[in-house]
Amino acid sequence: MQPQARVFAVDGLELCAQQWGEEGQKPVLALHGWLDNSASFSELAPLLDQLQFVALDLAGHGQSGHRPGAGPYNLWDDVADVISVADALGWQNFSLVGHSRGAIVAALVAGAFPARIQSMALIEGVFPPPADAQAAPQQLADSILKSRELANKPLRIHSSLAAAVRARAQGLFPLSDKAAEALTQRGVKAVEGGYVWSTDQRLLAPSSFYLTHEQVHAFIDRITARTRVILASAGLGQRYPDIRAALTQFPHLDVQELDGGHHLHIEAQAVQVAELINDFI
């Protein structure tokens, strides 16, 4: 199943997407993880039943435009983009599938606009790391300084597409060559001397603010959508051991665990992930 290219104009920003499925099927927006793109769902989407599955390249990622200025990429800006894209599609009510950072954005959308979200599948992500209120001044300063530094930093040139694929496979969460190639092909652009990432480097800057513990709880508690959380045995739980205990505070979230790594939805476990989504969404 080959996806259809989609483009949305959102507040002066061009957001690109890939769509699997047909108009009139159950509407689903899919949100990829940090530094990934919509190809993150290239293995999963064809396995899903009767869905109009629109996978976004979030702002600054993949083939989508970069946010203007020199500021950081804050999660709440993505929340606004998701609602704008849903409005452009004519979707008053819809479901969400998110991975990692995209899962966090999805949860914030569902907390802010609970009446619009019918169901969610959150893969390897649920809520942003909370912070103490006293850390806010320094967080803002760090964000501004790092964003300015990155805005003027030269891009690294990879001599070939294969070199870029190798670099992507060896990222924070290692990927198979097949998965890395899918993400790389949609995430680079050709320049003199090779390839550079199309991703906006300012995504490496910290957010302006982090939500406090109380604010995180307020968003998650306000979710009314049926929500399934899919964790990987060798994923976030290894890097953040407290996540499973934290999830027990929210009994309205259905938590499932599969063997695999952080990107299990684009790896060999995609079939199992699809089964958990098909019988839920």
Catalytic residues: 100
Q: What's the distance, CA 16 to chain centroid?
A: 14
With beta carbons less than 8 A apart as the criterion, state whether 130 and 213 touch.
Answer: yes
**At which residue do the structure tokens 């009767």 appear?**
50
Over the chain, what HEC string results? CCCEEEEEEECCEEEEEEEECCCCCEEEEEECCCCCCHHHHCCCHHHCCCEEEEEECCCCCCCCCCCCCCCCCCHHHHHHHHHHHHHHHCCCCEEEEEECHHHHHHHHHHHHCHHHEEEEEEECCCCCCCCCHHHHHHHHHHHHHHHHHHHCCCCCCECCHHHHHHHHHCCCCCCCHHHHHHHHHHHEEEECCEEEECCCHHHHCCCCCCCCHHHHHHHHHCCCCEEEEEEEEECHHHHCCCHHHHHCCCCCEEEEEEEEECCHHHCCCHHHHHHHHHCCC
**At which residue do the structure tokens 């989407």 appear?**
45
